[in-house]
Each structure stands twice: as C-alpha cells, then as structure tokens.
Amino acid sequence: MDTAERSKGPAGSHGVWRIVAARELSVKLRDRNFIVSTVITIAVIAAALGISGFMSSRTDTVEVAITGVGADRVVATANGLAENADKKVVFAAHPVADAAIVEQRVRDESADVGLVPDAQGWRLIGKSAENDDAATFVTAAAQQIAVARNAEAAGTSIEQLGTGGAVTYDLLDRDAVDPGLAAAAAFVFAFLFYLASILFGMAIAQSVVEEKQNRIVEILASAIPLRQLLIGKVIGSTVLAFAQLALFVGAGLIGLAAIGKGDQVFQIAGAAGWFIAFFIVGFLALASLWAVAGALATRSEDLQSTATPMSMLILIVLFAGIFLTGTARVIASYIPIVSIVSMPGRLADGTAAWWEPLVALALMAVATYGIVIVAEKIYRRSLMQTQSRLTMRQALAVED
C-alpha cells in the first residue's frame, strides 16, 4: 500500500480521528507524571500568590534606638506619616541613655536604626546600609516638627506657611492596568506558552517516533488513514493543553481574588481569555509541526536534531513575549505564533485597541491552516520512511 492509499484509508474511516484523540486523552490522563506535574504546578501558583499576598499585607517593624529630648515625638510622627501613606511599616522606639548606647544597639543589630540629636537637628544611624523606610518617614517627621516649631516661633502656623502649596493628583484613566501587574501577566503568558508547548509538543513527537521505531505505525496505517491519525493526535494534545492551561490561568485568577486583589482579576481576565484563544489556534499549528519532527526521525535519538527548529521557534516566542517593547512588540503581536504571547501582553497593559486581537487571531487562523496542510503532507510522506532520518525537503520530495 503506497502513501496516497494509506492517507485515504478504508472507506468510512472519516472521523476515526476521534478514536485516536480519545486514546491520546486516555493515555495522558492515566499518566501519573502528567497528573502529578499538573497538581504541583497549580500548588506552586497558589503558593506564590499566597506568599505575595502575605508579603504585601505584612507590616514591617523597624526597631529604633533613640535618645535625646523629642526623639519619641519624631518616631510617633513618623508612624503617623507612614499610616497616612498606607505604608505597611511601624517604627518601634526604644529609649536609651546616650548616643554611645544607640550606636552599640545598631552595631549588635538589636536595633535597625538609631536616632540621636545633633547640632543641625537629628542624626539617623545605620549599620551598613540605609533603611529606606526610616530615611523617608523619620526624616519627613523631623522636618515637619521643625517647621511647626519655627512657624510657632514666627507667630504663624504650619497651615498658613503651606497656603498655596496643595497638590492634587488626578488620574486621566483610573481603569488602566497597573504597569507592574501588566508586566507580570506578560511574563506569565510567555512562560505558560513555553511550558505547554515544550511538554505537549515533545510528547507528540516522542509518541510519533516510538510508533515509527516499533513499527506500530505500519499496523495503524493498514486500518487508519495517516491523515486521520495526525488529526487525532493534534486534537487530543490540543484539548489536553487547553485544559491544563485553563486550570493554570483559573488558579491564578482565583488566587488573586483570594488575596484581596479582585480588582486586578478583572483587569487581567480579559487578556487571559484572549491568551487561551490565541494558544488554542496557534497550538494546532505547533502540534502539527511537533508531529512532523517525530515523523522525520527514525528513532528517539534523532529527535534532538529534528526537534531543534521547534525548540528554537518556541524560545524566540518566549523571549519576544518578555523582552520586546514599543514598535517591535506591536509588529510581533500580528505575527502568527509570536502573537500568542505578544498580543495578550499588549491587551494586559491596555496598549491594544479592541479590534487588534480580532485581526491578529484571524491572521493566526489563516497561518495555522496553511501550516497544518503542509505539515500533514510532510507527516504522511515521512512517517513510513524508516531507512534513515529525513529532512523536510527530503520528505516533500517523496512521491504520494
């Protein structure tokens, strides 16, 4: 039976890909490593968000060794300023007899900083590095107290001295996404793309080459059209990748809500939904190419060579999603495959118009269709060639 006949298969075999897809799903869902890795990844996501929430809500205590008249008032005022600034920090004052003891407390690290009077006002003492919170709020507190004292001596008040100096901060776009959150989301999209593409893609290639190496494919080809075999593998793997990705994204969004960042969930959920849509369409092309990588090989050892182009492509997409900015990022968001992470990243930071993902997804769909057509031809022409490893050009030269 030649390649053309195998690709057509027996009559009534259309739709047999569903059996192949069901088998791929069944095998993977019984794979303990797959289940354990999925559970561990979700646990890591939950733990990371939990730690982030704990760290952001935790109040830091800065131990301050103080001496001199008015030092306790400076520390109390610093606490008030930190509270008004919604800064999670508390300054705990520890009075001591003199400056020498303050310095000793700082040296032996029983105090984070020291506060002692000097000729110009006050002196903050640290051991080897400045404490940013102390430098900010203790300094501001000392200056505020000094201004109030000088204003009183001049027969006025601090409020009168500050007349005309009030500043209000109006945001033109209060619904805009926090830049830090948008950058984190773009990184997560790129990482999830890389993880799913490598894990599921390599599994597809390994499955194909094992069937070829063990001659099982010759038995399958007598009953199943090669085209249907490819479709089943691609669809089965895409469904699994989608399900796992949806679990990861869902865990992340639920985690954000659980740690009190529900407003950020709504900011990111839309971009995450587009990411999943782009991934599904793009992974159909990637899965086909991974199957080609397996079909070109004759044994498992050959995969290192035949899968290299795919590994490089995935790395390019990963780095583009993380590092591209400006015009380069806009262009990348329209390039099929690269747009899987670039366009959702732009949606996360609010730099893409509503119509742009629709255009980019349409371009992706067209490119995916073309890639699948070419990949199917290479796949069925190379799958039955067991003499030696093939290149894509050699596989295309094989006649149907």
List the chain domain ranges. Answer: 3-54+179-397, 59-159
Rounded CA gap, 31 and 206, in Å? 15
What does the pLDDT read at residue 227? 86
Residue 118 pairs with which residues in a beta bridge? 121
- Give 300's DSSP letter: G
Which value, to the nearest 10 degrees, does the dihedral of the CA atoms of residues 219, 222, 228, 232 take?
-20
pLDDT one digit per residue (tens) for the chain, 400 residues: 455 445 555 444 567 888 888 888 888 888 888 888 888 888 888 777 777 666 666 788 999 999 999 999 999 999 999 998 888 899 999 999 999 999 999 999 999 999 999 988 999 999 988 899 999 999 999 999 998 888 888 888 777 877 777 777 776 665 566 677 788 888 889 989 998 999 899 989 998 998 888 888 878 877 788 888 899 999 999 999 999 988 888 888 887 776 666 666 777 888 999 999 999 999 999 999 999 999 998 888 888 889 999 999 999 999 999 999 999 999 999 999 999 999 999 998 888 999 999 999 999 999 999 999 999 999 988 887 777 777 787 877 776 6
Instruction: Collapse the DSSP code of 147 into the 3-class scheme (helix H, G, I; strand E, B; otherwise coil) and give the result.
Output: helix
Helices (H) and strands (E) in the chain, counts: 18, 4
Q: What is the pLDDT of residues 254-275, one digit of tens each?
A: 877 766 666 667 778 889 999 9
Asked whether 252 and 191 are in contact (CB, 8 A), the reply is no
Per-position b or e across 82-106, b if 16+ CB within 10 A of its CB = beeeeeebbbebeebeebebbbebb
What does the pLDDT read at residue 122? 94
Structure tokens at 19: 């059996």
Residue 60 pairs with which residues in a beta bridge? 89
Rounded CA gap, 71 and 142, in Å? 9
What does the pLDDT read at residue 293? 92
Residue 91 pairs with which residues in a beta bridge? 62
Residues in the chain, total: 400
Structure tokens at 389: 């490893």
The secondary structure element, H or E, covering residue 342 is helix 339-349
What does the pLDDT read at residue 159? 77
What does the pLDDT read at residue 5? 47
How many Cβ atoms sit within 10 Å of the Cβ of residue 370? 12
Rounded CA gap, 131 and 60, in Å? 12
What does the pLDDT read at residue 384? 79
CATH classification of 59-159 is 3.40.190.10, yes or no? yes
Nearest in space to 115 (alpha carbons), one of 135, 132, 129 = 135
How many Cβ atoms sit within 10 Å of the Cβ of residue 235? 19
